[in-house]
Amino acid sequence: MVSTNQHQAPDYDAIVIGAGFSGLYMLHRLREAGYSVRVYEAADGVGGVWYWNRYPGARCDSESIYYNYTFSEELYREWTWSSRYPKQSEILDYLNFVADKFELRTDIQFDTKIKAAHYDETNHKWNIETGDGNNVSAKYFITGVGCLSAANIPNIKGKDTFTGESYHTGHWPHEGVDFKGKHVGIIGTGSSGIQSIPVIAKEADHLTVFQRTPQYSTPAKNHPYDLETIEYSKENFYQIKEQMRNSPGGIPAEFPTQSALENTQEERQEVFEEAWEKGGFYMQNTYNDITINEDANETLAEFVRSKIRETVHDQKIAEKLMPSYYYGTKRPVLDTNYFETFNRTNVSLIDLKNTPIHRITEKGVQTTEEEYELDTLIFATGYDAMTGPLLKIDIRGREGVSLKEKWGGGAQTKTYLGLTNAGFPNMFMITGPESPSVLSNMPVSIEQHVEWIADCIDYLCEHNIDYIEATPEAENAWSTHCREVAEATLFTKTESWYTGANIEGKPRGFLIYLGGVGAYREKCSEIANEGYPGFTMVISKKLVI
Protein backbone atom coordinates (compact mmCIF):
# COMPACT_ATOMS: atom_id res chain seq x y z
CA MET A 1 0.00 0.00 0.00
CA VAL A 2 1.36 3.41 -0.94
CA SER A 3 1.59 5.74 2.09
CA THR A 4 -0.36 8.97 1.71
CA ASN A 5 1.83 11.48 3.64
CA GLN A 6 -1.34 13.48 4.42
CA HIS A 7 -1.03 17.25 4.14
CA GLN A 8 2.61 17.14 3.24
CA ALA A 9 4.15 18.75 0.22
CA PRO A 10 5.31 16.22 -2.35
CA ASP A 11 8.95 15.13 -2.25
CA TYR A 12 9.48 16.12 -5.89
CA ASP A 13 7.82 18.19 -8.54
CA ALA A 14 7.95 15.23 -10.91
CA ILE A 15 8.67 11.53 -10.82
CA VAL A 16 9.53 9.86 -14.09
CA ILE A 17 9.65 6.11 -14.70
CA GLY A 18 12.33 4.88 -17.08
CA ALA A 19 15.75 6.12 -18.17
CA GLY A 20 15.54 5.44 -21.89
CA PHE A 21 15.17 8.09 -24.60
CA SER A 22 11.98 9.35 -22.90
CA GLY A 23 13.05 9.55 -19.29
CA LEU A 24 16.47 11.07 -20.01
CA TYR A 25 15.09 13.97 -22.00
CA MET A 26 12.15 14.48 -19.62
CA LEU A 27 14.59 14.75 -16.74
CA HIS A 28 16.83 17.17 -18.61
CA ARG A 29 13.99 19.35 -19.81
CA LEU A 30 12.26 19.68 -16.43
CA ARG A 31 15.49 20.13 -14.50
CA GLU A 32 16.60 22.90 -16.86
CA ALA A 33 13.31 24.68 -16.10
CA GLY A 34 14.06 24.49 -12.37
CA TYR A 35 11.84 21.59 -11.28
CA SER A 36 12.94 18.88 -8.86
CA VAL A 37 12.79 15.52 -10.64
CA ARG A 38 13.54 11.93 -9.72
CA VAL A 39 13.82 9.20 -12.35
CA TYR A 40 13.44 5.53 -11.39
CA GLU A 41 14.96 2.87 -13.61
CA ALA A 42 14.79 -0.91 -13.18
CA ALA A 43 18.14 -1.54 -14.91
CA ASP A 44 21.55 -0.63 -13.53
CA GLY A 45 22.19 1.78 -16.39
CA VAL A 46 20.48 4.12 -18.82
CA GLY A 47 19.14 2.99 -22.21
CA GLY A 48 15.64 1.57 -21.75
CA VAL A 49 14.93 -1.04 -24.42
CA TRP A 50 18.45 -0.54 -25.76
CA TYR A 51 19.83 -1.60 -22.40
CA TRP A 52 17.97 -4.93 -22.56
CA ASN A 53 17.88 -5.83 -26.29
CA ARG A 54 21.42 -7.18 -26.70
CA TYR A 55 20.57 -10.14 -28.91
CA PRO A 56 22.95 -10.97 -31.80
CA GLY A 57 22.47 -8.60 -34.74
CA ALA A 58 20.37 -6.06 -32.79
CA ARG A 59 20.21 -2.77 -34.67
CA CYS A 60 17.67 -0.04 -35.05
CA ASP A 61 15.68 0.18 -38.28
CA SER A 62 15.63 3.98 -38.26
CA GLU A 63 18.64 5.51 -39.96
CA SER A 64 21.23 6.70 -37.45
CA ILE A 65 21.28 10.37 -38.38
CA TYR A 66 17.56 10.48 -37.64
CA TYR A 67 17.61 8.23 -34.60
CA ASN A 68 18.78 10.77 -32.09
CA TYR A 69 17.71 13.76 -30.09
CA THR A 70 17.44 17.07 -31.89
CA PHE A 71 16.77 19.31 -28.88
CA SER A 72 20.44 20.31 -28.79
CA GLU A 73 22.39 21.20 -31.89
CA GLU A 74 25.59 20.96 -29.84
CA LEU A 75 24.77 17.36 -28.92
CA TYR A 76 23.89 16.54 -32.53
CA ARG A 77 27.22 17.93 -33.71
CA GLU A 78 29.25 16.20 -30.99
CA TRP A 79 28.01 12.69 -31.71
CA THR A 80 28.98 10.83 -34.90
CA TRP A 81 27.30 7.58 -35.94
CA SER A 82 29.41 4.95 -37.63
CA SER A 83 26.88 3.33 -39.98
CA ARG A 84 23.51 3.77 -41.67
CA TYR A 85 21.67 1.72 -39.03
CA PRO A 86 22.95 2.02 -35.47
CA LYS A 87 23.74 -1.19 -33.64
CA GLN A 88 22.45 -1.69 -30.14
CA SER A 89 25.80 -1.09 -28.44
CA GLU A 90 26.27 2.17 -30.32
CA ILE A 91 22.81 3.45 -29.31
CA LEU A 92 23.59 2.51 -25.72
CA ASP A 93 26.91 4.39 -25.98
CA TYR A 94 25.01 7.39 -27.35
CA LEU A 95 22.51 7.40 -24.47
CA ASN A 96 25.36 7.07 -21.96
CA PHE A 97 27.07 9.99 -23.70
CA VAL A 98 23.86 12.04 -23.33
CA ALA A 99 23.56 11.08 -19.65
CA ASP A 100 27.18 12.15 -19.06
CA LYS A 101 26.99 15.36 -21.08
CA PHE A 102 23.91 16.62 -19.22
CA GLU A 103 24.95 15.08 -15.87
CA LEU A 104 21.68 13.19 -15.61
CA ARG A 105 22.75 10.27 -13.41
CA THR A 106 22.61 12.24 -10.15
CA ASP A 107 18.81 12.36 -10.44
CA ILE A 108 18.29 8.77 -11.56
CA GLN A 109 17.82 5.94 -9.10
CA PHE A 110 18.89 2.73 -10.85
CA ASP A 111 18.03 -0.86 -9.92
CA THR A 112 14.61 0.32 -8.81
CA LYS A 113 11.30 -0.87 -10.19
CA ILE A 114 8.13 1.06 -9.56
CA LYS A 115 5.50 -1.15 -8.04
CA ALA A 116 2.62 1.30 -7.58
CA ALA A 117 1.60 4.90 -8.22
CA HIS A 118 -1.56 6.13 -6.47
CA TYR A 119 -3.12 9.57 -6.78
CA ASP A 120 -3.83 11.34 -3.50
CA GLU A 121 -6.87 13.53 -4.16
CA THR A 122 -6.56 15.44 -0.90
CA ASN A 123 -3.04 16.66 -1.48
CA HIS A 124 -3.04 16.61 -5.29
CA LYS A 125 0.04 14.46 -5.49
CA TRP A 126 1.12 11.04 -6.63
CA ASN A 127 2.39 8.55 -4.05
CA ILE A 128 4.82 6.14 -5.55
CA GLU A 129 5.94 2.82 -4.10
CA THR A 130 9.19 1.30 -5.28
CA GLY A 131 9.84 -2.42 -5.58
CA ASP A 132 11.96 -2.34 -2.42
CA GLY A 133 9.06 -0.94 -0.41
CA ASN A 134 10.08 2.75 -0.24
CA ASN A 135 7.54 5.52 -0.70
CA VAL A 136 8.05 8.82 -2.42
CA SER A 137 5.69 11.45 -3.79
CA ALA A 138 5.47 14.02 -6.57
CA LYS A 139 3.01 16.51 -7.97
CA TYR A 140 3.43 15.14 -11.50
CA PHE A 141 3.75 11.50 -12.45
CA ILE A 142 5.27 10.79 -15.87
CA THR A 143 5.70 7.41 -17.50
CA GLY A 144 8.57 6.84 -19.93
CA VAL A 145 8.25 3.07 -19.89
CA GLY A 146 8.43 2.47 -23.65
CA CYS A 147 5.90 0.70 -25.85
CA LEU A 148 7.82 -2.53 -26.28
CA SER A 149 9.34 -3.31 -22.91
CA ALA A 150 7.05 -5.99 -21.47
CA ALA A 151 8.54 -9.19 -22.90
CA ASN A 152 6.15 -11.92 -24.03
CA ILE A 153 7.05 -15.56 -23.51
CA PRO A 154 4.03 -17.47 -24.79
CA ASN A 155 2.45 -19.94 -22.50
CA ILE A 156 3.52 -23.04 -24.43
CA LYS A 157 2.86 -26.29 -22.62
CA GLY A 158 5.97 -27.58 -20.86
CA LYS A 159 7.96 -24.34 -21.33
CA ASP A 160 9.58 -24.64 -17.90
CA THR A 161 10.68 -28.23 -18.43
CA PHE A 162 13.40 -27.48 -21.00
CA THR A 163 16.77 -28.33 -19.44
CA GLY A 164 18.97 -26.43 -21.89
CA GLU A 165 19.65 -22.70 -21.89
CA SER A 166 16.80 -20.42 -22.89
CA TYR A 167 16.59 -16.68 -23.51
CA HIS A 168 14.15 -13.99 -24.62
CA THR A 169 15.68 -11.57 -27.14
CA GLY A 170 14.55 -8.62 -25.03
CA HIS A 171 16.44 -9.85 -21.94
CA TRP A 172 19.70 -10.95 -23.41
CA PRO A 173 22.65 -11.74 -21.10
CA HIS A 174 25.24 -8.94 -21.01
CA GLU A 175 28.08 -11.39 -21.42
CA GLY A 176 26.54 -12.74 -24.66
CA VAL A 177 25.72 -16.35 -25.52
CA ASP A 178 28.17 -18.82 -27.03
CA PHE A 179 26.49 -20.79 -29.83
CA LYS A 180 29.59 -22.66 -31.02
CA GLY A 181 28.93 -26.36 -31.48
CA LYS A 182 25.35 -25.94 -30.27
CA HIS A 183 21.99 -26.97 -31.64
CA VAL A 184 19.94 -23.83 -31.34
CA GLY A 185 16.20 -23.29 -31.82
CA ILE A 186 14.49 -19.96 -32.24
CA ILE A 187 10.75 -19.32 -31.99
CA GLY A 188 9.59 -16.17 -33.75
CA THR A 189 10.32 -14.38 -37.01
CA GLY A 190 9.53 -10.74 -36.25
CA SER A 191 12.21 -8.01 -36.26
CA SER A 192 14.18 -9.58 -33.41
CA GLY A 193 14.14 -13.09 -34.91
CA ILE A 194 14.94 -11.91 -38.42
CA GLN A 195 17.89 -9.81 -37.23
CA SER A 196 19.35 -12.54 -35.04
CA ILE A 197 18.80 -15.62 -37.25
CA PRO A 198 21.57 -14.86 -39.84
CA VAL A 199 24.08 -14.06 -37.09
CA ILE A 200 23.31 -17.12 -34.96
CA ALA A 201 23.32 -19.38 -38.04
CA LYS A 202 26.94 -18.45 -38.74
CA GLU A 203 28.04 -19.54 -35.29
CA ALA A 204 25.80 -22.43 -34.29
CA ASP A 205 26.31 -26.03 -35.29
CA HIS A 206 22.66 -26.10 -36.33
CA LEU A 207 19.82 -23.59 -36.17
CA THR A 208 16.15 -24.58 -36.27
CA VAL A 209 13.78 -21.72 -37.01
CA PHE A 210 10.21 -22.21 -35.75
CA GLN A 211 8.09 -19.90 -37.91
CA ARG A 212 4.38 -19.25 -37.37
CA THR A 213 3.84 -16.34 -39.77
CA PRO A 214 6.15 -15.76 -42.75
CA GLN A 215 7.27 -12.13 -43.07
CA TYR A 216 7.85 -9.58 -45.78
CA SER A 217 11.39 -8.52 -45.03
CA THR A 218 13.45 -6.15 -47.15
CA PRO A 219 17.20 -5.67 -47.19
CA ALA A 220 18.43 -2.98 -44.82
CA LYS A 221 21.52 -2.35 -47.00
CA ASN A 222 23.45 -1.21 -44.01
CA HIS A 223 26.86 0.33 -44.67
CA PRO A 224 29.43 2.50 -42.89
CA TYR A 225 28.67 6.20 -43.19
CA ASP A 226 30.96 8.26 -45.37
CA LEU A 227 32.28 11.62 -44.20
CA GLU A 228 30.11 13.44 -46.71
CA THR A 229 26.84 12.10 -45.21
CA ILE A 230 27.94 12.95 -41.69
CA GLU A 231 29.01 16.46 -42.65
CA TYR A 232 25.82 17.02 -44.63
CA SER A 233 23.63 15.98 -41.70
CA LYS A 234 25.48 18.22 -39.26
CA GLU A 235 25.50 21.23 -41.57
CA ASN A 236 21.79 20.83 -42.27
CA PHE A 237 20.73 20.15 -38.70
CA TYR A 238 17.83 22.63 -38.59
CA GLN A 239 16.45 21.66 -41.96
CA ILE A 240 16.57 17.93 -41.12
CA LYS A 241 15.02 18.57 -37.72
CA GLU A 242 12.10 20.46 -39.26
CA GLN A 243 11.58 17.78 -41.90
CA MET A 244 11.51 15.06 -39.25
CA ARG A 245 9.11 16.93 -36.99
CA ASN A 246 6.64 17.64 -39.77
CA SER A 247 6.79 14.40 -41.71
CA PRO A 248 4.27 11.55 -41.49
CA GLY A 249 6.70 9.08 -39.88
CA GLY A 250 9.31 11.27 -38.18
CA ILE A 251 11.87 10.71 -40.93
CA PRO A 252 12.46 13.08 -43.85
CA ALA A 253 10.67 11.52 -46.79
CA GLU A 254 8.73 12.62 -49.77
CA PHE A 255 5.17 11.45 -49.50
CA PRO A 256 4.10 9.62 -52.68
CA THR A 257 1.20 11.14 -54.59
CA GLN A 258 0.44 8.34 -57.03
CA SER A 259 -1.61 5.16 -56.68
CA ALA A 260 0.12 1.86 -57.43
CA LEU A 261 -2.82 1.06 -59.71
CA GLU A 262 -2.16 4.06 -61.93
CA ASN A 263 1.09 2.46 -63.13
CA THR A 264 1.57 -0.46 -65.48
CA GLN A 265 3.14 -3.66 -64.16
CA GLU A 266 6.46 -2.67 -65.81
CA GLU A 267 6.39 0.81 -64.29
CA ARG A 268 5.63 -0.57 -60.82
CA GLN A 269 8.42 -3.12 -61.16
CA GLU A 270 10.85 -0.29 -61.82
CA VAL A 271 9.60 1.74 -58.85
CA PHE A 272 9.74 -1.27 -56.49
CA GLU A 273 13.20 -2.31 -57.74
CA GLU A 274 14.52 1.18 -57.10
CA ALA A 275 13.13 1.19 -53.55
CA TRP A 276 14.46 -2.33 -52.94
CA GLU A 277 17.93 -1.24 -54.04
CA LYS A 278 17.89 1.74 -51.65
CA GLY A 279 17.15 -0.59 -48.75
CA GLY A 280 15.31 0.44 -45.60
CA PHE A 281 11.72 1.56 -45.26
CA TYR A 282 11.30 2.86 -48.80
CA MET A 283 9.01 0.08 -50.03
CA GLN A 284 5.78 1.29 -48.41
CA ASN A 285 6.58 4.82 -49.51
CA THR A 286 6.47 3.91 -53.18
CA TYR A 287 2.76 4.65 -53.68
CA ASN A 288 0.13 6.48 -51.69
CA ASP A 289 -2.30 3.59 -51.35
CA ILE A 290 -0.17 0.67 -50.21
CA THR A 291 -1.72 0.58 -46.75
CA ILE A 292 -5.27 1.50 -47.75
CA ASN A 293 -6.06 -0.37 -50.95
CA GLU A 294 -6.00 -4.18 -51.10
CA ASP A 295 -5.11 -4.36 -54.79
CA ALA A 296 -2.34 -1.78 -54.50
CA ASN A 297 -1.01 -3.64 -51.47
CA GLU A 298 -1.00 -6.93 -53.37
CA THR A 299 1.27 -5.50 -56.10
CA LEU A 300 3.96 -4.80 -53.54
CA ALA A 301 3.33 -8.02 -51.61
CA GLU A 302 3.83 -10.03 -54.81
CA PHE A 303 7.01 -8.12 -55.63
CA VAL A 304 8.52 -9.10 -52.26
CA ARG A 305 7.38 -12.71 -52.70
CA SER A 306 9.18 -12.80 -56.06
CA LYS A 307 12.36 -11.61 -54.30
CA ILE A 308 12.03 -14.44 -51.78
CA ARG A 309 11.64 -16.98 -54.61
CA GLU A 310 14.73 -15.53 -56.31
CA THR A 311 16.84 -15.62 -53.15
CA VAL A 312 15.98 -18.99 -51.66
CA HIS A 313 17.39 -21.87 -53.74
CA ASP A 314 15.07 -24.66 -52.56
CA GLN A 315 11.59 -23.70 -53.75
CA LYS A 316 9.93 -25.92 -51.13
CA ILE A 317 11.59 -23.81 -48.44
CA ALA A 318 10.79 -20.61 -50.36
CA GLU A 319 7.10 -21.57 -50.36
CA LYS A 320 7.14 -21.94 -46.57
CA LEU A 321 8.61 -18.43 -46.34
CA MET A 322 5.87 -16.88 -48.47
CA PRO A 323 3.91 -14.20 -46.57
CA SER A 324 0.24 -13.66 -47.31
CA TYR A 325 -1.03 -10.88 -45.02
CA TYR A 326 -1.33 -7.29 -46.28
CA TYR A 327 2.14 -5.86 -46.74
CA GLY A 328 3.07 -3.42 -43.97
CA THR A 329 0.19 -4.27 -41.65
CA LYS A 330 2.59 -6.10 -39.38
CA ARG A 331 5.67 -4.05 -38.53
CA PRO A 332 7.85 -4.07 -41.69
CA VAL A 333 11.11 -5.86 -41.12
CA LEU A 334 14.56 -4.97 -42.43
CA ASP A 335 17.20 -7.64 -42.65
CA THR A 336 20.75 -8.47 -43.54
CA ASN A 337 20.87 -11.81 -45.37
CA TYR A 338 17.73 -13.24 -43.77
CA PHE A 339 16.32 -15.18 -46.73
CA GLU A 340 19.87 -16.13 -47.86
CA THR A 341 20.32 -17.86 -44.49
CA PHE A 342 17.84 -20.55 -45.55
CA ASN A 343 20.33 -21.63 -48.24
CA ARG A 344 22.73 -22.76 -45.52
CA THR A 345 22.94 -26.47 -44.80
CA ASN A 346 22.97 -25.93 -41.03
CA VAL A 347 19.59 -24.14 -40.97
CA SER A 348 16.15 -25.77 -40.97
CA LEU A 349 12.79 -24.08 -41.18
CA ILE A 350 9.79 -25.51 -39.37
CA ASP A 351 6.45 -24.25 -40.58
CA LEU A 352 4.30 -24.07 -37.46
CA LYS A 353 1.17 -23.42 -39.48
CA ASN A 354 1.46 -27.00 -40.79
CA THR A 355 3.03 -28.60 -37.75
CA PRO A 356 2.27 -26.50 -34.66
CA ILE A 357 4.29 -26.74 -31.47
CA HIS A 358 2.71 -29.41 -29.32
CA ARG A 359 4.85 -28.74 -26.28
CA ILE A 360 8.30 -27.86 -25.05
CA THR A 361 10.06 -30.87 -23.63
CA GLU A 362 13.14 -31.40 -21.46
CA LYS A 363 15.16 -31.85 -24.64
CA GLY A 364 13.70 -29.25 -26.97
CA VAL A 365 10.59 -28.50 -29.00
CA GLN A 366 8.00 -31.09 -29.89
CA THR A 367 5.80 -30.23 -32.85
CA THR A 368 2.85 -32.32 -33.97
CA GLU A 369 5.34 -34.06 -36.28
CA GLU A 370 8.69 -34.36 -34.54
CA GLU A 371 10.77 -33.55 -31.45
CA TYR A 372 13.70 -31.19 -32.17
CA GLU A 373 16.51 -31.65 -29.66
CA LEU A 374 18.19 -28.39 -28.71
CA ASP A 375 20.97 -27.07 -26.49
CA THR A 376 19.65 -23.53 -26.59
CA LEU A 377 16.11 -22.21 -27.15
CA ILE A 378 15.52 -18.57 -28.01
CA PHE A 379 12.19 -16.83 -27.65
CA ALA A 380 12.01 -14.04 -30.24
CA THR A 381 8.35 -13.85 -29.38
CA GLY A 382 7.90 -10.13 -28.93
CA TYR A 383 6.12 -7.96 -26.41
CA ASP A 384 2.86 -7.11 -24.74
CA ALA A 385 2.92 -3.81 -26.60
CA MET A 386 1.59 -0.34 -25.81
CA THR A 387 -0.54 -1.08 -22.72
CA GLY A 388 1.60 -3.94 -21.33
CA PRO A 389 4.38 -1.83 -19.77
CA LEU A 390 1.86 0.52 -18.11
CA LEU A 391 -0.43 -2.19 -16.81
CA LYS A 392 2.49 -3.96 -15.11
CA ILE A 393 2.44 -1.09 -12.59
CA ASP A 394 -0.43 -0.66 -10.13
CA ILE A 395 -1.45 2.83 -11.28
CA ARG A 396 -4.52 4.23 -9.54
CA GLY A 397 -6.16 7.57 -10.17
CA ARG A 398 -9.17 9.26 -8.65
CA GLU A 399 -11.22 7.18 -6.15
CA GLY A 400 -8.61 4.41 -6.27
CA VAL A 401 -9.65 3.29 -9.76
CA SER A 402 -6.77 1.47 -11.43
CA LEU A 403 -5.63 2.04 -15.00
CA LYS A 404 -6.31 -1.66 -15.56
CA GLU A 405 -9.95 -1.20 -14.51
CA LYS A 406 -10.33 2.00 -16.52
CA TRP A 407 -8.92 0.38 -19.63
CA GLY A 408 -10.96 -2.79 -19.01
CA GLY A 409 -7.72 -4.78 -19.10
CA GLY A 410 -7.06 -3.14 -22.48
CA ALA A 411 -10.45 -3.56 -24.21
CA GLN A 412 -11.65 -0.07 -23.38
CA THR A 413 -8.34 1.71 -23.66
CA LYS A 414 -9.04 5.37 -24.20
CA THR A 415 -6.67 8.26 -23.78
CA TYR A 416 -6.66 11.92 -24.63
CA LEU A 417 -3.94 12.40 -27.27
CA GLY A 418 -2.07 9.34 -25.99
CA LEU A 419 -0.70 11.68 -23.32
CA THR A 420 -3.29 11.72 -20.53
CA ASN A 421 -6.23 9.82 -19.06
CA ALA A 422 -9.53 11.03 -17.59
CA GLY A 423 -9.51 10.14 -13.88
CA PHE A 424 -5.72 10.39 -13.62
CA PRO A 425 -4.91 14.03 -12.81
CA ASN A 426 -1.35 15.28 -13.33
CA MET A 427 -0.29 12.00 -14.92
CA PHE A 428 1.38 12.08 -18.34
CA MET A 429 2.41 9.22 -20.61
CA ILE A 430 5.33 9.65 -23.02
CA THR A 431 4.34 7.88 -26.26
CA GLY A 432 1.28 6.33 -24.65
CA PRO A 433 -1.47 4.35 -26.44
CA GLU A 434 -3.23 6.35 -29.20
CA SER A 435 -0.22 8.50 -30.02
CA PRO A 436 1.89 7.88 -33.19
CA SER A 437 4.51 6.04 -31.05
CA VAL A 438 5.70 2.80 -32.67
CA LEU A 439 4.54 3.83 -36.13
CA SER A 440 6.96 6.72 -36.08
CA ASN A 441 10.64 7.34 -35.56
CA MET A 442 10.55 7.10 -31.78
CA PRO A 443 13.02 9.83 -30.72
CA VAL A 444 11.04 12.41 -32.72
CA SER A 445 7.77 11.41 -31.08
CA ILE A 446 9.41 11.23 -27.67
CA GLU A 447 10.82 14.76 -27.99
CA GLN A 448 7.43 16.10 -29.01
CA HIS A 449 5.73 14.51 -26.00
CA VAL A 450 8.43 15.59 -23.56
CA GLU A 451 8.23 19.18 -24.81
CA TRP A 452 4.42 19.21 -24.69
CA ILE A 453 4.41 17.84 -21.12
CA ALA A 454 7.11 20.29 -19.94
CA ASP A 455 5.23 23.24 -21.50
CA CYS A 456 2.01 22.04 -19.90
CA ILE A 457 3.67 21.85 -16.47
CA ASP A 458 5.06 25.38 -16.97
CA TYR A 459 1.55 26.56 -17.77
CA LEU A 460 0.10 24.90 -14.66
CA CYS A 461 2.78 26.44 -12.44
CA GLU A 462 2.46 29.91 -13.97
CA HIS A 463 -1.29 29.80 -13.31
CA ASN A 464 -1.04 28.17 -9.86
CA ILE A 465 -3.15 25.26 -11.05
CA ASP A 466 -3.30 22.25 -8.73
CA TYR A 467 -4.13 19.72 -11.35
CA ILE A 468 -5.02 19.13 -14.96
CA GLU A 469 -7.15 16.22 -16.09
CA ALA A 470 -8.56 15.11 -19.44
CA THR A 471 -12.36 15.19 -19.68
CA PRO A 472 -14.14 11.93 -20.54
CA GLU A 473 -15.70 13.70 -23.55
CA ALA A 474 -12.33 14.75 -24.98
CA GLU A 475 -10.97 11.27 -24.37
CA ASN A 476 -13.94 9.64 -26.13
CA ALA A 477 -13.61 11.98 -29.09
CA TRP A 478 -9.85 11.33 -29.45
CA SER A 479 -10.26 7.55 -29.16
CA THR A 480 -13.04 7.56 -31.74
CA HIS A 481 -10.91 9.64 -34.08
CA CYS A 482 -7.96 7.23 -33.67
CA ARG A 483 -10.15 4.25 -34.38
CA GLU A 484 -11.73 5.87 -37.45
CA VAL A 485 -8.33 6.74 -38.92
CA ALA A 486 -7.12 3.17 -38.35
CA GLU A 487 -10.26 1.58 -39.76
CA ALA A 488 -9.80 3.43 -43.03
CA THR A 489 -6.57 1.43 -43.52
CA LEU A 490 -5.64 -2.23 -43.92
CA PHE A 491 -3.84 -2.26 -40.54
CA THR A 492 -6.90 -3.41 -38.64
CA LYS A 493 -7.44 -6.33 -41.04
CA THR A 494 -4.32 -8.17 -39.88
CA GLU A 495 -3.73 -9.86 -36.54
CA SER A 496 -0.52 -8.40 -35.13
CA TRP A 497 1.04 -7.00 -31.99
CA TYR A 498 -0.36 -3.64 -33.15
CA THR A 499 -3.86 -5.04 -32.49
CA GLY A 500 -2.94 -7.00 -29.34
CA ALA A 501 -3.49 -10.33 -31.14
CA ASN A 502 -0.05 -11.67 -30.12
CA ILE A 503 -0.96 -11.91 -26.43
CA GLU A 504 -3.21 -14.69 -25.27
CA GLY A 505 -6.40 -13.23 -23.81
CA LYS A 506 -5.47 -9.62 -24.63
CA PRO A 507 -8.44 -7.65 -25.94
CA ARG A 508 -8.08 -6.42 -29.52
CA GLY A 509 -7.75 -2.75 -30.31
CA PHE A 510 -5.59 -0.61 -32.56
CA LEU A 511 -3.88 1.79 -30.15
CA ILE A 512 -1.63 3.77 -32.48
CA TYR A 513 -2.58 7.12 -34.00
CA LEU A 514 -2.11 6.80 -37.76
CA GLY A 515 -2.67 10.44 -38.70
CA GLY A 516 1.10 11.06 -38.89
CA VAL A 517 3.68 12.76 -36.72
CA GLY A 518 3.34 16.20 -38.33
CA ALA A 519 -0.46 16.36 -38.13
CA TYR A 520 -0.40 15.01 -34.57
CA ARG A 521 2.16 17.61 -33.48
CA GLU A 522 -0.05 20.34 -34.93
CA LYS A 523 -3.08 19.03 -33.06
CA CYS A 524 -1.22 18.86 -29.72
CA SER A 525 0.27 22.34 -30.21
CA GLU A 526 -3.13 23.77 -31.09
CA ILE A 527 -4.57 22.39 -27.84
CA ALA A 528 -1.73 23.91 -25.80
CA ASN A 529 -1.96 27.25 -27.61
CA GLU A 530 -5.71 27.45 -27.02
CA GLY A 531 -5.31 26.99 -23.25
CA TYR A 532 -5.88 23.22 -23.11
CA PRO A 533 -9.44 22.57 -24.31
CA GLY A 534 -10.50 19.02 -23.42
CA PHE A 535 -8.96 19.30 -19.97
CA THR A 536 -10.30 20.47 -16.64
CA MET A 537 -7.90 22.52 -14.57
CA VAL A 538 -8.49 23.18 -10.91
CA ILE A 539 -7.07 25.69 -8.41
CA SER A 540 -7.89 24.65 -4.83
CA LYS A 541 -11.14 23.00 -5.87
CA LYS A 542 -12.09 26.01 -8.01
CA LEU A 543 -12.68 25.04 -11.62
CA VAL A 544 -10.77 27.33 -13.96
CA ILE A 545 -11.74 25.85 -17.29
Q: Applying CB under 6 A, which residues contact ligand N01?
A: 59-61, 148, 154, 156, 169, 187-193, 195, 212-213, 331, 352, 357, 380-383, 438, 497, 502
Q: Least separation, in Å, of the C-beta of 115 and ligand N01?
A: 25
C-beta separation of 493 from 326 below 8 A: yes
Contact between residue 130 and residue 114 where contact means Cβ atoms under 8 Å apart: yes
Closer to ligand N01 by Cβ: residue 322 or 477: 322
Instruction: Confirm if 334 and 217 have CB atoms less than 8 A apart.
Output: yes
**How is residue 416 annotated by DSSP?**
B
CB 216 within 8 A of CB 333: yes
User: In angstroms, what CA-CA distances link 118 with 18, 128, 199, 390, 466?
Assistant: 18, 6, 45, 13, 16
List all residues 6 or more positions away from 47 whose beta carbon is below 8 Å from its beta carbon: 19, 20, 91, 92, 95, 96
Question: In angstroms, what is the minimal distance from the CB of 331 to ligand N01?
Answer: 3
Strand partners, 185: 208, 377
Burial 361-380 (b: 16+ CB within 10 A, else e): bebbbbbeeeebbbbbbbbb
CA-to-CA separations, 487 to 168, 292, 482, 492, 494, in angstroms, rounded: 33, 9, 9, 6, 11
In 148-265, where do the E strands start and end? 165-168, 183-187, 206-211, 217-219
CA distances to 70, 158, 350 from 363, in Å: 50, 11, 17
Give the residue with the Cβ less far from ligand N01, 135 or 158: 158
Specify the residue, 11 or 356, whose C-beta has the smaller distance to ligand N01.
356
- Nearer of residues 151 and 538 to ligand N01, judged by Cβ: 151
What is the smallest separation between the CB atom of 150 and ligand N01, expressed in angstroms? 11
CB of 49 to ligand N01, least distance (A): 8
Please identify, using beta-carbon distances, which residue of 161 and 476 lies nearer to ligand N01. 161
Report the candidate in 474, 536, 418, 538 with the shortest Cα–Cα distance to residue 143: 418
Minimum distance from residue 499 beta carbon to ligand N01 (Å): 11
Q: Is 137 helix (H, G, I), strand (E, B) or coil?
A: strand
Report, in Å, the least distance between residue 202 CB and ligand N01: 19
Closest separation between CB of residue 156 and ligand N01, Å? Answer: 6
- For the bound state, the minimum distance from the C-beta of residue 193 to ligand N01, rounded and expressed in Å, comes to 5
| Residue number, 285 or 496, with CB nearest to ligand N01 | 496
Comparison of 154 and 507: residue with beta carbon closer to ligand N01: 154
Pick between residue 191 and residue 421 the one whose CB is nearest to ligand N01: 191
Radius of gyration of the chain (CA): 24
- On the 0-12 / 13-18 / 19+ scale of CB atoms within 10 A, 173 is exposed
> Cβ closer to ligand N01: 123 or 435?
435
How far apart are CB 414 and ligand N01 at their closest, in Å?
23
Residue 356 CB, shortest distance to ligand N01, in Å, is 8
Residue number of the CB closest to ligand N01 reads 190
d(CA 17, CA 34): 19
What does the alpha-carbon distance between residue 169 and residue 157 come to, in Å, rounded to a whole number? 20
State which residue, 212 or 234, has the beta carbon closest to ligand N01: 212
Nearest approach, Cβ of 454 to ligand N01 (angstroms)? 26
Return the number of the residue (123 or 149) whose C-beta is nearest ligand N01: 149
Q: Are 253 and 516 in contact (CB under 8 A)?
A: no
The smaller minimum CB distance to ligand N01, of residues 22 and 195, is found at: 195
Q: What is the DSSP string of 30-84?
A: HHHTT--EEEE-SSSSS-THHHH---TT-B-SS-GGGSS--S-HHHHHH---SBS
Q: How many CA atoms lie within 13 A of 142 on its CB side?
A: 32
CB nearer to ligand N01: give 155 or 257.
155
The minimum distance between CB 384 and ligand N01, in angstroms, equals 10
Beta bridge partners of 184: 207, 376
d(CA 356, CA 96): 43
For ligand N01, the closer CB: 61 or 375: 61
Q: How far is the CB of 173 from ligand N01 (least distance, A)?
A: 17
Shortest CB 382 distance to ligand N01, Å:
2
> Which letter, b or e, does each residue of 392-422 get, where b requires 16 or more Cβ atoms within 10 Å of its Cβ?
bbebbbeeeebbbebbeebeebbbbbbbbbb
Question: How many residues are listed for the chain in this entry?
Answer: 545
**DSSP secondary structure letter of residue 350:** E
